[in-house]
Each structure stands twice: as structure tokens, then as C-alpha cells.
Structure 1
Amino acid sequence: MTSERSGSCSSGTGGSCAYTAIGCSAPSRRPRTTQDTFLRAWRRLDTFQGRATFRAWLYRIATNTCLDTLGKRPREPIPEARSLPADPTAAPLPAVALRWVGPFPDRLLEPPAPSDSGPDAVAVSRETVELAFIVAVQHLPPRQRAVLILRDVLGWRAKEVAVLLESSVAATNSALQRARVTVQRHLPRRRVEWSPTRRPSEQERAVVRRYMDALARADDAVIGAMLREDARCSHQPGAGGHMDSAPVWYEGRDTLVAAWSPALRGPDAIEFRFRETRANGHPAIAVYMRPAGSDSAFEAFVLSALRIVHGRIAELTGFTSAVFPAFELPATLAPDSP
């Protein structure tokens, strides 16, 4: 839809908001929700009367599409506090703890128009695509989720949200307050220390490249120096060599370095190759591997989403190679790849 009516609305608009609402990790399901939105809009184009902006009309369709999707999907249980670390100020559940949550490519978060004054720009500029926020939102029932996204992500007024959801202003405000309390309870307490989502800085790029170089050289000392003392690493089942049926996460600089040591040296050592990308407003690394000393192609191993704080790596979240196509990453690299 690229007519004058549609203006700056694009698949990026529906895609990022659908992702925030649903958090779907299956690469085939996020585009399907966006496609359903635009298909519904096309079929109902004659119902657009011009009483509101075309963008608002389209967001109403997108919101209802997401609500329908959430209504059809069985509500999966979310792990309770017993899975949380003992430190109450530590980060809560990682994204991998929720099977249906996955990463979102930054290339789809680019504002679809030069102007940064519309709802798209608000959604991209705020920290509402970070994995921690996506996980927190999963604790909300569908309508509270919709209200929170429309009010706090897109900046809609209470009356506009009430009209869209066919509710009252009072009910909308009540849902928003309950949603805010729930989300705040499930966000990391130290999140205020995090850098806002932005374009990568030179310092951030330098950290990523030093980390990749240290892994390639199996340099434990440099790897350890680049991690925060409270760094956390997590993996989906099947990601990064984790073959158990349940996700895993562990924390502490020494714990991480010790856990990675067998892959860096010894009889089970791995040779790595890397490709840089970005996910959820932060740097990410596509990792490829082959047994050390082999002359075979490098196979997709893990997509590692990084969170860097004050020049050190604070968190690594590992997703399976199933997400590589969404990031336009190849499944293998040639044996002589740099």
C-alpha cells in the first residue's frame, strides 16, 4: 500500500507494533500478522471515511488483528519467580524463558518516512522493542497489552484508544494503570542505567569487534575483561550448542568464561566465524561454527543479541539459526570465509 492515502504507513509500522504486542519468535508468524493487517485494510478500504487519519484507521485494523491472533493462541504459562535469581535487583526472566518470544531485526524498525513526528517514529525511538520490555508485556492480557502499546508506545490519547477499542475513557485509563503496574513489576530494576535505543556508536562497534576477535583467538582473559561482573548468558533449546529441551541461563563473569572454555580449546574446540547485525535496538552477532581443524563450511550456530553497558557486555541472549532468514543471514559460510 503505497498510495497517497497510505502516506508513511508501511510493513515496518505494522511489523514492529505486531511484534511488541505478540512477541512472536517464529519468523513465519510475524510477517503473517502484518500481511493479515494489510489484507484486511485492502478489503475494507471503502470503509475509510476520512473522519480520522488514514494512519489511525490502519492502526485500528492492526490492533484488532493482533487481538484476534492473541485470542486464538493458547495462553502459555510464564515461569514464576522461582526461576528468578536470588538478587531482587537482578534482571528478571530472559527472553529465552518464553518459548514464543524472539528477536526483531533493526532493519525493520527504520522509520518508513523522513519525518520523525508520527507514531512510527515514536515506536522506534522509545525503548519498547527491547527484549526486556517484550518479555514484560507478555504478562499482560490482550486488551491491556493493546492499551499500553497505543498509549505509551504510540502516544495516542485516551479518547482515541477508547474509540478504537469500543470502550469508555474510564475503562481505558483503568486498563492502562493496571498494565503499567504489571510491566513495571517485570522489568529489571536497573533498567534506568541502560543506554536508550539508538544507532550504534563507534564505542559499541569497537566492543563487538573486540569480542568477536577474542572469541576467534580463544582468548579467555580478553573475553573475561569484556564482560561485566554480573553478566548473564541465555540460550534457547538448540542455540549455541545447548541441546536440552528447556532453555538455560547462567550469570557471573567467571561462570560464563568457564562454561565457554570447552568450545574454545581442547578436544571439542570450535572454530568460529561471525557476521554483525542488530536486533531489538542493540548489537547482535550471527555466529557460525565448524570443528577446529576442519575444512568444511561454517554452519549457523547461534544469533547472540548483546546488551552493552558502559563499554562492557552485560547480557548475551542466544537464539537458534531458525531466526537467521529474518535477518537476511545465510545458513552457511564458505570454508575460506574471513
Structure 2
Amino acid sequence: MEGGTKVELMTADLLARARAGQEDAFRELIEPYRRELQVHCYRMLGSFQDAEDVLQETLLAAWQGLGGFEGRASMRTWLYRIATNRCLNARRAAGRRPAQEWNVPGVQAPPEPTSLGEVVWLQPFPDALLEGTSSVPPGPEARYELTESISLAFIAALQMLPPRQVAVLVLRDVLGFAAAETAEMLDSTVDSVNSALKRARATLHGRPAQADPTPAAPSPGERATVAKFVSAYESADVDALVALLTDDVFISMPPMPFEYQGKEVVGRFFGHLFGSGRRFELVPTRANGGPAFGTYLRGATGLRHATGLITVTVRGERVCALSRFEDSVLSYFGLPRTLSPR
């Protein structure tokens, strides 16, 4: 009890100093929540850049509205209310990133895709920024583990829901807020929240099979499969790559809408990618709870130029999903645009 009282007194002191206009006190007050708010905005918006922009809007709104914080809810709940409503505004606004034409340098138009994706604004989220977010356990209403709730498949599925359903499902099933708390955050009623949650769950339950796999914690089996994938990719061994794929393997490549599903068509895609003697080097990182790699094209001078980032989802001992992103996302992972000759 004494420790809790000490924390409460420290928080009250920070709050008083922040209300008096001390920016350092405000930064210290909200710092424990910054990372989890960033992840929350990312789940809502599906874009790392959009999430960062809305996070900054949230913190500015909190700073400007601190005088109105009455303490009826916790500081964390108050911040989530601001962030959620800013995300809803962003989801409803026109101007989400449009689809791009095929723009892989040096590679002509790819084979005919099996489908065209709608969530072209999807971006990966660096695992390094997830550190510390699990220190706040989700509430008793939560249904999803961290790895599932940050997976690219789950994030993409959320983007297909209406904005309000996304907010309700994330607040209730991911973060574990109670129905009454969620209704308060959204200026709604418990009945309306429960209805939106029921519809969102039904939609996610019926989503396409390729969205089902979720990243697991790294295991010896996953590491072995990923090592084989890297070896085959870097040596441009299409047969070895195809042998690692599940029959229903799925490739997406936001912001380009092209999607490929099935071993045969994915094999043709890789054959096209490695055509004309193109060879790549993969630099490891982690995104959305799973393995990912910066991809670098080897040049004649030894200089290697970034072409993008690829995420790998493993099911059993096979690769079941791949997502390729443009090279602009590499900075989120601390990866350079070029690698010097060895």
C-alpha cells in the first residue's frame, strides 16, 4: 500500500507541474504510455507512418487538454480515449494512400496476380518498438495474445472493418477494456458497443484463410526454415524456395495491390524477380512478431542497394505468407539504403 501511495503522490506531483506548464513534467507523465499508444494507433490505422502522426496529435491534444483531466478515469484510459478518437478521425478522412503501379527497379511487369489487395497502405511494425508494451497486462476482457494482435494478417483484417467496429474490437478484445469503459471512450452506450463487437467478431471469424496464420515465438524449427529461405533467396534458387512453401502460400506487396496465392504462381513470381541475373542479400530484422529482412540488390561494384523489406510467416516447417514492402520503410528498422562493398 505504501508503494502504491508513493506512486500516486509522484503522479499527482507530475500532473500538477504539467498543468502549470512544465513540459518536462508532462513528458515524464505520459512516457509510460507512449509505446503502447503507438501500437494502438498502428492497430487502428495499419500504417506505421500514420500511427506516428496520430500519436503526435494525441500527445499534443493531451497537453492542451490536461486542464480538463478530472481523474475520474485513469491517465492511461484518458489517453486511450484521445488516441482512439484521433484514429477514428483519420480512418474516416479521405486520402488514405492510393495503390501504386508496379515499381520494382529493373524488373518488368510481373506475372498476372491472382487478386488485387485493398489494404495498400499497410506497413510493417518493428519488433524493437514492442519492447515494454507487454509490461501492462491486458484487461480481463482480452481475447488476443500480443503476437496475434500485432501480426500483419490481423492488422490487415482490421483495416477491412468499419472504423467504429475496429475501435470497439481493439479496445475490448485486444486491450481488455470493459464494455462500460469502451462506451465511455466512444461517447456511446454499452448496447451499441456490444452490438459493434458482435459484428466485428463475426467478420474476422470469416476472413480468408491466408489471414489465419499468426507469428509464433522464435523456435528452432522456425529458425531452421528461415535459414533455408535466406539461403534459397540469396542464391536465387527458385526450386529450393518453392519447396519451402505451403500449397496455399500467399504474397502481398503494399503499396502495390498485387497478390499471389499458391505454389505455382508464387514460383513464377520468384522466377520473374530473379530474372536477368538479379541477386539479393538479406539483412535480418523482426517485424510484427516474426522474421523480416531488408532486401539489397547486389551491384557490379559491390555496393548493394536497398529494394525493400520482406516479412516471412512460418507455419510448421513451411513458409505460408510473405509480404514485400517498399524501401521507404527501412528507416523504421534502422536499416540503411545502401550497403558498402565488403
TM bracket, shorter-chain basis: 0.7 to 0.9
CA apart distance, 1:314: 0.8
Over residues 219-276 of structure 1, what are the superposed CA-to-partner deviations in whole Å (9 max), with x where a residue is unaligned? 3343222122222223246xxxxxxxx52222322332333235546xx111211111
Q: Which residue of 2 aligns with 1:203?
A: 221
Which consecutive unaligned segments of at least 5 residues does structure 1 have? 79-91, 238-245
Q: Does 1:253 align with 2:263?
A: yes
- The equivalent of 1:216 in structure 2 is 234
1:176–1:113 distance in 2 versus 1, CA, 3 Å: closer
> Given the alignment, which residue of 322, 331, 339 partners 1:333?
339
State the distance in 2 between where 1:102 and 1:312 align: 23
Q: Helix, strand or coil for the counterpart of 2:71? A: coil
Runs of at least 4 residues of structure 1 off by over 6 A?
75-78, 121-124
- What is the SS of the residue equivalent to 1:186? coil
**Residue 311 of structure 1: CA displacement?**
1.5
Q: What one-letter code is carried by the residue in structure 2 that aligns with 1:307?
A: T
Letter in 2 for 1:8: P
Q: Is the 8 A contact 1:126 1:153 kept in 2?
A: no
In the alignment, is the contact (CA less than 8 A) between 1:289 and 1:298 conserved in 2? Answer: yes
- Please give the alpha-carbon distance, in whole angstroms, between the structure 1 residues aligned to 2:166 and 2:59: 21
> Do the aligned partners of 1:13 and 1:112 also contact (CA within 8 Å) in 2?
yes
Indicate if the aligned counterparts of 1:228 and 1:314 stay in contact, CA closer than 8 A: yes
Task: State the partner residue of 1:17.
Answer: 40
CA distance in 2, matches of 1:41, 1:328: 29
Structure 2 contact 210–248 (Cα < 8 Å) conserved: no
Going from structure 1 to structure 2, the CA distance change for 1:126 and 1:159 (only over 3 Å counts) comes to: farther
Q: For the pair shown, which has the larger CA radius of gyration, 1 or 2?
A: 2
Which position in structure 1 is the counterpart of 2:318?
Answer: 312
Q: Residue 143 of structure 2 contacts residue 176 of structure 2 at CA under 8 Å; is this kept in 1?
A: yes
- If the length of structure 1 is used for normalisation, what is the TM-score? 0.79
Contact 2:292 2:312 in 1 (8 A): yes
| TM-score (normalised: structure 2) | 0.79
SS at match of 2:223: helix
1:142 alignment partner AA: P
Q: Give the letter aligned to residue 36 of structure 2.
A: T
Of Structure 1 and Structure 2, the greater helix share is in: 2
1:51 to 69, 72, 77: 72
* Equivalent in the alignment of 2:250: 232
Unaligned runs of 5+ in 2: 1-25, 100-113
- Within the alignment, does 1:300 sit opposite 2:302 as a pair? no
Query: Shift in Å at residue 296 of structure 1?
Result: 4.2
Matched, 1:168 2:221: no
Q: Is the 8 A contact 1:132 1:187 kept in 2?
A: no
Alpha carbons 1:162, 1:169 under 8 Å: kept: yes
The code of the aligned residue for 1:151 comes to R
CA distance in 2, matches of 1:93, 1:258: 15
SS of 1:215's partner is: helix
- Report the Cα offset of residue 30 of structure 1: 2.4
What's the RMSD between the two structures over aligned residues? 2.9
Report if the CA contact (8 A) 2:115-2:260 is conserved: no
